[in-house]
């Protein structure tokens, strides 16, 4: 059977950092699949693929590609739900058939990892599992409950610490703007989201912190709350203010990555704590901009992904007078032809990037 032109099965997503990786599908879809903000597997049944099928896929991938990959990613949303011995066999077969692979990674849920012993995780590490990508999303329990994440912050800490102790590199994901303008427990959610997320990250101290920005589109349960007015998303400036508070409260030795095109400031990245000051400096510069300038930067950055010229590839390019003047001319033309269109494009482009 062919899957999208390939003689082996491939799932729908992987982290941006795994763009050049060999993709091997060990499970199908997500065993939880209830998160309000995720449309990826809605309506699809979770399945554990037979071990022999996964091993056969690795053989098919070898026959097709040869030993050309340096990294591999095991799909789908939570491969650690497999029996540890079976996953060890998958990893071992990958390393045997692709000896040039130096990094093997996968997604996992914090609850699943917390159920594993450090010894089991250590077996996976010894087999060759290099890194786990886990969605923290928020450290604020009322928000995790609202979004039906199915975990608590304590579970993330427990599972995350086990991963770190096992030797496996850990990447935790945070969703900026996840609480929008909600008020949970009588308080502004954005502030508690930032502070409690910082607390969890400090307790775990993962190798990587990767931020994503909440983008709502049809297919997400959260979209219905948006339509009814129950949920109101944060503005770009509010998201950046939240990111500022998060970074200010981090006491970690993690690498902070902003490597997704939905993020307002992809330039805010670096090794903590060394780069904290420079990261906060970019945020402070952005927050001093007028609303018009913030829109100019955001849209000019999004232009990059949709064939518009000119565009901004970084905040530094936005600061170049000649580049800003050229982008401004394009935006002004859009505004003249269709008043309000620039703001609409920001929302449309963002939805298309997830």
Q: What does the pLDDT profile of the chain (354 residues) look like in tens digits?
A: 555 679 999 999 999 899 999 999 999 999 999 999 999 999 999 999 999 999 999 999 999 999 999 999 999 999 999 999 999 999 999 999 999 999 999 999 999 999 999 999 999 999 999 999 999 999 999 999 999 999 999 999 999 999 999 999 999 999 999 999 999 999 999 999 999 999 999 999 999 999 999 999 999 999 999 999 999 999 999 999 999 999 999 999 999 999 999 999 999 999 999 999 999 999 999 999 999 999 999 999 999 999 999 999 999 999 999 999 999 999 999 999 999 999 999 999 999 998
Give the DSSP H or E segment for 137. strand 131-137
CA distance 320 to 334: 21
Boundaries of CATH 3.20.20.70 in the chain? 16-288
Answer whether 162's CB lies under 8 Å from 206's CB.
no
C-alpha 155/C-alpha 144 separation (Å) is 12
- SS3 of residue 346 by DSSP: helix
Question: Please, which residues have CB within 8 angstroms of residue 240's CB and are 6 or more apart in sequence?
Answer: 264, 265, 283, 286, 287
Can you tell me the distance from the alpha carbon of 312 to that of 199, in angstroms, rounded to the nearest whole number? 34
Give the residue carrying structure tokens 């999303």.
Answer: 137
Residue 259 CA from chain centroid, whole number: 8
The CATH number of the structural domain formed by 16-288 is 3.20.20.70
In the DSSP assignment, the letter for residue 107 is: E
Please, what sign has the CA dihedral across residues 279, 281, 282, 288? positive
* CA 98/CA 65 separation, integer angstroms: 10
Cα dihedral 141, 145, 149, 151, rounded to 10, equals: 50
């Amino acid at each position: 059977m062919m899957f999208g032109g390939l003689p082996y099965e491939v799932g729908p997503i992987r982290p941006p950092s795994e763009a050049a990786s060999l993709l091997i599908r060990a499970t199908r879809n997500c065993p939880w699949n209830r998160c309000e903000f995720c449309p990826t597997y809605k309506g699809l049944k979770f399945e554990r693929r037979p071990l022999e099928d996964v091993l056969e896929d690795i053989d098919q991938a070898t026959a097709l590609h040869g030993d050309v990959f340096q990294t591999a990613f095991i799909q789908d949303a939570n491969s650690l739900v497999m029996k540890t011995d079976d996953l060890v066999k998958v990893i071992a077969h990958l390393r045997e058939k692709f000896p040039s692979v130096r990094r093997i990674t996968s997604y996992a849920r914090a609850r699943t990892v917390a159920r594993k012993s450090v010894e089991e995780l250590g077996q996976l590490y010894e087999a060759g599992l290099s890194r786990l990508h886990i969605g923290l999303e928020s450290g604020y329990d009322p928000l995790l409950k609202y979004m039906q994440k199915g975990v608590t912050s304590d579970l993330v800490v427990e599972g995350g610490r086990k991963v770190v102790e096992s030797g496996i590199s850990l990447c935790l994901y945070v969703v900026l703007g996840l609480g929008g303008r909600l008020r949970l427990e009588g308080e502004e959610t954005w502030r508690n989201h930032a502070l409690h997320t910082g607390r969890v990250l400090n307790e775990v101290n993962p190798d990587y912190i990767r931020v994503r920005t909440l983008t709502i589109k049809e297919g997400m349960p959260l979209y219905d709350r948006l339509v009814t007015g129950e949920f109101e998303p944060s503005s770009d400036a509010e998201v950046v203010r939240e990111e500022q508070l998060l970074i200010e409260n981090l006491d970690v030795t993690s690498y902070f990555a902003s490597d997704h095109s939905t993020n307002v400031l992809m330039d805010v990245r670096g090794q903590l704590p060394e780069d904290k000051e420079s990261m906060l400096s970019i945020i402070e510069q952005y927050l001093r901009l007028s609303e018009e300038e913030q829109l100019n930067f955001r849209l000019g950055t999004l232009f990059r992904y949709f064939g518009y010229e000119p565009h901004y590839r970084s905040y530094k390019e936005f600061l170049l007078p000649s580049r800003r003047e050229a982008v401004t001319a394009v935006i002004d033309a859009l505004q003249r032809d269709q008043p309000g269109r620039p703001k609409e494009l920001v929302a449309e482009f963002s939805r298309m990037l997830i």
